[in-house]
Structure 1
Amino acid sequence: MLLKKITILSLFISLISCSSGFSEKEKQEYTIKGKEIAQASFNELSSQLMTQMQAGGPAQAVPFCKEQAAPILAQLSSKYDANIKRSSDLLRSCKIEPTERELEIIYGYKKLISEKKDIQPIVEVDSDNKKHFYAPIIVKTNCLVCHGKVNETMSVKTDSIIKSIYPFDIATGYNEGDLRGVWSITFNK
């Protein structure tokens, strides 16, 4: 009888430890890997976008972003063996809608920011045993040219260009330091 209780207890403990997802070591490893991927993705996108801005301003950069951001992230996804996505609650394109979990994380980050608390990346395992990394995307000064406020940090002309390419855009009105969204990275292994 005692052996049966110990076996049941061992099984219960192993189920609990499996469902928690990560050991602390794995959590640290995936956090480091996620930060590396998010930073590399940001660097690649912003570098190419700045090249377009310098070459032709928003009239060249906005269409470039619409057509090339997804292929750039797809290429990086292949390189890092992960699915790399940017997600937001204020969309520029209806094609990239956030998941329920991404929205929960975005709203959680916004709450922490409003309470003047630190925000950190999140690493977790979902019910399908997929490993996820989420990190905040914070608005920088140069982002305001296309995501700022009209007649303040964004010109009417730029707003018109954006509205002609993204008719349902609501991804403007930001200030420097605002939360734009999250990096949402799902690891393939």
Structure 2
Amino acid sequence: MFKKILILAIAVNFIACSSGFSEKEKQEYTVKGQEIAQATFKELSANLMAQMKAGGPSQAIPFCNQQASPITEALSKKYDVVIKRTSNKLRSCNNEPSEREIEIIDSYQQLMLKNKELKPIVEIDKDQKKHFYAPIKIQANCLVCHGKLNETMTVQTDSIIKSIYQFDIATGYSEGDLRGLWSITFNK
């Protein structure tokens, strides 16, 4: 009987210890997640802006369609994580949000309505995988392809987007709007 109680106590302790982050771990994974998201944003942005300078939206949009995923995958390998950008207003079905990601996007939208700060989230899922989520906000230079038609986005740019992304709904944004979120899953 004592042996069974001891085994049960060890199992309960193990589950309790592995079911969440300590404050130190939360901080560490927040910092790691922010570093990875910033590095990914910097790499994607630099490449996209180079294409915009070289040929405007007619060159940048196809580049983004063909090269954003390989760039993100290469950085995923470099950091030993899975990097995802997702939104509730998709341009590509390849970036469809999970149920949890939809919950977080909805939560961020509610916080924005209340003028509250949007902070990164780190958590462990039921499979003990560690996740980092952070908001992606629209910046001024994003509006060329994600803005409002005939205001910050031209009809020509809209036509190029629609020819490549037939089901695009990732437009109509203003600077500072919530575009979506970074979702990073740590492999270890």
Structure 2 length normalisation: TM-score? Answer: 0.94
**Deviation digits for residues 112-171 of structure 1 (CA, Å, limit 9, x no counterpart):** 000111110000010111110000000000000000000011011100110011111000
- How big is the shift at 1:5? 7.7
Using the TM superposition, name which of 7-16 and 82-91 deviates more: 7-16
RMSD: 1.8
> 2 CA distance for matches of 1:127 and 1:30?
17
> 1 CA distance for matches of 2:113 and 2:79?
33
Aligned residues: 188
1:124 paired to 2:123: yes
Structure 1's unaligned 5+ residue stretches are none
- Corresponding position of 1:80: 79
- Corresponding position of 2:22: 23
- How big is the shift at 1:94? 1.5
What pairs up with 1:139-154 in 2 under 5 angstroms? Answer: 139-154=138-153
Displacement over 2 Å in runs of 4+: 1-18
Letter aligned with residue 157 of structure 1: Q
- How big is the shift at 1:8? 5.9
Letter aligned with residue 73 of structure 1: T
Letter aligned with residue 120 of structure 2: P
- Corresponding position of 2:103: 104
What pairs up with 1:39-58 in 2 under 5 angstroms? Answer: 39-58=38-57
> 2 CA distance for matches of 1:8 and 1:83?
35
- How big is the shift at 1:96? 1.9
Letter aligned with residue 18 of structure 2: C
- How big is the shift at 1:18? 2.4
1:61 is paired with a residue whose SS is: helix
- How big is the shift at 1:76? 0.3
- How big is the shift at 1:16? 2.7
| Pair 176,9 (structure 1): closer, same or farther in 2 beyond 3 Å | same
